[in-house]
Structure 1
Amino acid sequence: MSPWHFFVAAITAVLVSGFAPTAKAESWAQVEFRDPTNAEVVLAATVTNDQGYSIAIFRNKDSKVRWVLSLPQISLDRIKSVGRVAAYRIDDNAAVDVEVSAGKEGIVPGLEEPEIINGRSIREILWHGEGPSPTRGVLRNMLDGNALAIRFFFDGGSADTTFDLTGAGNAIGPALKIETSADPNLIAHDRDRDEAVMISMKVCQSSSDLSTCLGVMTNCMGANANQLTGDQMRRCMAVHGYPLEPIASPTKADTPTPTKADTLTVNCTAIGDLARNVMEKRQSGTDMSVMMAVVEKLADDNPVKAIGRSIVIMAYDMPLFNLDENKQQTISEFANQIQVKCYQAK
């Protein structure tokens, strides 16, 4: 090769490499971010991987936490506008589908759907934002996980990418002003409370005065069941003559004559049906306050009211899914879980 040809080849290589698009990998960081939907400037935890895909996680003024998943700036692809637009999975957890309805008639009132922005980004609610830290769901899995895999769907195909979650919590925590670790005391508190409520239900079922027992149980749960502790429930029930101890099965001679109160008997099947109905509303996008209002309007001697608050709280602590298959699976599993707890408390 002549010196001239060598020079031309060298210059060409420099020019090509200078104009070739490259994606620089970055660590998780906190930056000011402008929400592409409402132009609100927020503090966000962001990261861009070595392929150029990026994530921004932030809290809006309504306290809800959202994220924006974006294609590389150099990408010529466009995300589908409707249907299944993406799917993601954290470590070995179940995959989550992101779906967008075809029209307004397909959107449940009050339910904010994922939004496609200019065909290049997906904006979606990640966490309801209530409490010091998520105890379950996608954001919890991100804080505890190692890797996030995402698949974007286009009209003519799809693209996969992954994100390293190492150090994500160091940026997400301060950006959202949350604790990055799940509070084990809070988790234990909720489990102990739920167990006490379930045992209370069984005690009332075995009582000769079901209506009175359910009234006591409702009063013991108080106006804010979320703050109730298992010990408070046990003490309150015991003070009113209903200690939460194993109840022996009554003999035939001890069986009381059926009364009107017996028609209020709440068995585990009925509790399971209640749990199913509540989770169906949860997965349809009905607001939690609506379900709580329904429970509060029930008569004090209605057996549903005694357990309703706790079941609503448990249901709305579960994530809201987009794919119908995931919704139905969650509804069935939740109803079965509540029934199992009921039978175990017997």
Structure 2
Amino acid sequence: MKTAEATGVVLCLLATTAKADWHFVEDWTDPVNGFEAKAAVSTADDGTALHLYRNPIGRVYALITLPDGTPDIVREGMVASLAPEGFDPKQIEARTEQGRVIEFATSTGRALRDRLWHGEGSAPAFGTLHDIVEAPSLTATLSLVDGTQHSATWSMDGAGAPIAQAIGITIEGAAAGDAWDDAAAQALLAAMTICQFPKLDVTCVQKVTACSDKISVDRDIDGFDACIAQ
């Protein structure tokens, strides 16, 4: 196995996710403004999808998308609430035109986008994003155009690593950011390179692959090193 091939394996292993319903998406398109973003995604039992992600200038958003067959979300006014279990709910106001100072939520009818955090610093110490990360579950209640309401609940079990990876903050020890990504890639590349010399060792490659969840899922480089040393 050549070094370039080992690098390709490293990239594949880093992209792997396999924990609970939450998962990380490397390339995702915001349906409101069309920008590309990394996202953490979960789908409620009824098919309502939740994406958490940053925009190009670093602000963190939640986007809730209704399942097929559901009436549209109201476009303006107090259109929804977000209720992290055990914390105060956030009331969401949407407008078709944004204010000069306050950033209101945006409803497309099928989806609702709301800003959770300004995105400055390493992690939120308080506020809605903090509450969502700390809560065991999150419930959204949306007002629909037919006068009814639609509620969906997402478990936050297993959400830490995908959210950390998507928005680049450390959550409950789940590291993220460019520096962490570089260190993780180097750890995997070093392990794969060892498997090449003095000749290709298939058993070694299989062991590195089996241990790779320590990085891609647990975000634990030390745990990966200990796993392959066993």
TM-score (norm 2): 0.62
Paired position in structure 2 for 1:141: 131
Counterpart CA distance in 1 for 2:134 and 2:158 is 10
Q: Is the 8 A contact 2:123 2:169 kept in 1?
A: yes
Once the two structures are TM-superposed, the CA of residue 123 in structure 1 deviates from its matched residue by 0.9
Paired position in structure 2 for 1:56: 51
Paired position in structure 2 for 1:76: 70
Paired position in structure 1 for 2:163: 172
Matching of residue 128 in structure 1 with residue 118 in structure 2:
yes
After TM superposition, list the pairs within 5 Å mapping 1:194-213 onto structure 2.
none
User: Secondary structure of the equivalent of 2:115?
Assistant: strand
* Cα RMSD (Å): 1.7
Q: Which has the higher helix share?
A: 1
TM-aligned CA distance change 1:153 to 1:161, over 3 Å: same
Identity %: 28
Once the two structures are TM-superposed, the CA of residue 110 in structure 1 deviates from its matched residue by 2.8
Paired position in structure 1 for 2:184: none
User: Which sections of structure 2, spanning at least 5 residues, go unmatched?
Assistant: 1-19, 174-230
| Greater RCO, 1 or 2 (C-alpha within 8 Å, sep 6+) | 2
User: Secondary structure of the equivalent of 2:164?
Assistant: helix
User: Which sections of structure 1, spanning at least 5 residues, go unmatched?
Assistant: 1-25, 183-346
Once the two structures are TM-superposed, the CA of residue 160 in structure 1 deviates from its matched residue by 1.4
Structure 2 letter corresponding to 1:68: L
Matching of residue 90 in structure 1 with residue 88 in structure 2:
no
Structure 1 letter corresponding to 2:21: S
User: Secondary structure of the equivalent of 2:114?
Assistant: strand
Matching of residue 43 in structure 1 with residue 38 in structure 2:
yes
Counterpart CA distance in 2 for 1:85 and 1:113 is 11
Which of 24, 34, 43 is residue 29 of structure 2 equivalent to?
Answer: 34
TM-score (norm 1): 0.42
User: Secondary structure of the equivalent of 2:163?
Assistant: helix
Once the two structures are TM-superposed, the CA of residue 50 in structure 1 deviates from its matched residue by 1.4
Matching of residue 161 in structure 1 with residue 152 in structure 2:
yes
Structure 2 letter corresponding to 1:70: T
User: Secondary structure of the equivalent of 1:139?
Assistant: helix
Count, aligned residues: 152
Paired position in structure 1 for 2:142: 152
User: Secondary structure of the equivalent of 1:79?
Assistant: coil
Where in structure 1 do 4 or more consecutive aligned residues deviate above 4 Å? none
Q: Is the 8 A contact 1:79 1:120 kept in 2?
A: yes
Counterpart CA distance in 1 for 2:150 and 2:170 is 33
User: Secondary structure of the equivalent of 2:81?
Assistant: strand
Paired position in structure 1 for 2:60: 65
Counterpart CA distance in 2 for 1:160 and 1:124 is 16
Paired position in structure 1 for 2:177: none
